[in-house]
Amino acid sequence: MSIKCVKCKEEIKSKEDLVVSSLILLILPFHSSCFAKQKTDSFAGMFYRGPINSMIYSIITAIIIFGFSMLTFSTFITMNQAGKNSLPTLIVQLIILLVVAYPRIISFIFFESKLKNKKETVKYESISKQVHNSSQDNVICKVCQTPITKVSDLSISYKIVSWDVFSFHNKCFSNEIKKGVKYSAIPINSPEFFLKYNLKYLILAIISGIIGIGIVGFGILQIIIEIIKPNPYWQDIVSSLIRSLFGGALTGLISYHSVGSYLNFTNKRKAIVDKFDKK
């Protein structure tokens, strides 16, 4: 059974071209390009969540499920020690877990598991396709479709929604920005982009990493102090464990995303600029 995009009604042929989004309780498949248009071309686009099938969404879902699972376990121990009925609270927390996991589970079972990956033949193949020069050494301008012969005449930018990367002549790029097309106004290969975005990603990664190490270290210290007491209070130990693991995972996610964003733009810029160095 084929999977069809809800916007263009055409078949989605690979996982790379699949974007799964949610609208309230509906889980909907799109082509990546169709999803970008849906987000920008209509008022309803702001209500679509996703991509559900992305790595970041999966990591966030896993962290939330893990945190709630630990909280459920802690609640069960605490209420049993106090002689209270923990069943109603546990049921509510399990329902929350199901609501959080539901989009990711549906996405995998009904869409992702039925599609295959494209075969990767060369490094940076997806980048080459995005700049329309996978079969040649020339870098082609997205607008006029002519080769860009000088690196000084090169502007590399990306669509703000889909992050698809394209190369332009400087003049063509300026004209596209004036038209209001949804490209980043600051080229990836400019010093301004490094200072405004990439440097911030690196700083955010370092700061979140330091905070994460501090949270985990402080949690471990609290656990050790509680364990060496004559009568350790296990509720405090579990609470410290939950805080340190959840805080460490959250800051780790921020650091991972920041480093990933930095490497994403750096590698795409390098893949294009290196073609001028080979000439």
- Condensed to tens digits (0 to 9), the pLDDT of residues 83-103 reads 776 677 777 777 878 888 888
Q: How far is CA 154 from CA 31, 68, 142, 188, in A?
A: 29, 49, 11, 10
Residue 126 clears pLDDT 50, i.e. is over it: no
**Is residue 148 very low, low, confident or very high in pLDDT (cuts 50, 70, 90)?**
confident
Quick check: 132 pLDDT over 50? no
Supply 44's token pair. Answer: 């309803």
pLDDT band at 130 (very low <50, low <70, confident <90, very high): very low
Backbone φ and ψ for 82, nearest 5 degrees, come out as -85, 0
Q: Predicted confidence band at 1 (pLDDT cuts at 50, 70, 90)?
A: low
φ and ψ at residue 25, rounded to 5 degrees: -105, 0
> Residue 95 and residue 86: Cα distance in Å, rounded?
14
- Whether the predicted pLDDT of 153 surpasses 80: yes
pTM of the model as a whole: 0.47
How far from each other are the two terminal CA atoms of the chain, in whole angstroms? 47
268-to-83, 163, 237, 255, 258 alpha-carbon distances in Å: 59, 11, 46, 20, 16
The per-residue pLDDT for range 179-192, each reduced to its tens digit, is: 766 677 788 888 88
The structural domains of the chain, with segments of one domain joined by +, span 3-114, 126-179, 191-277
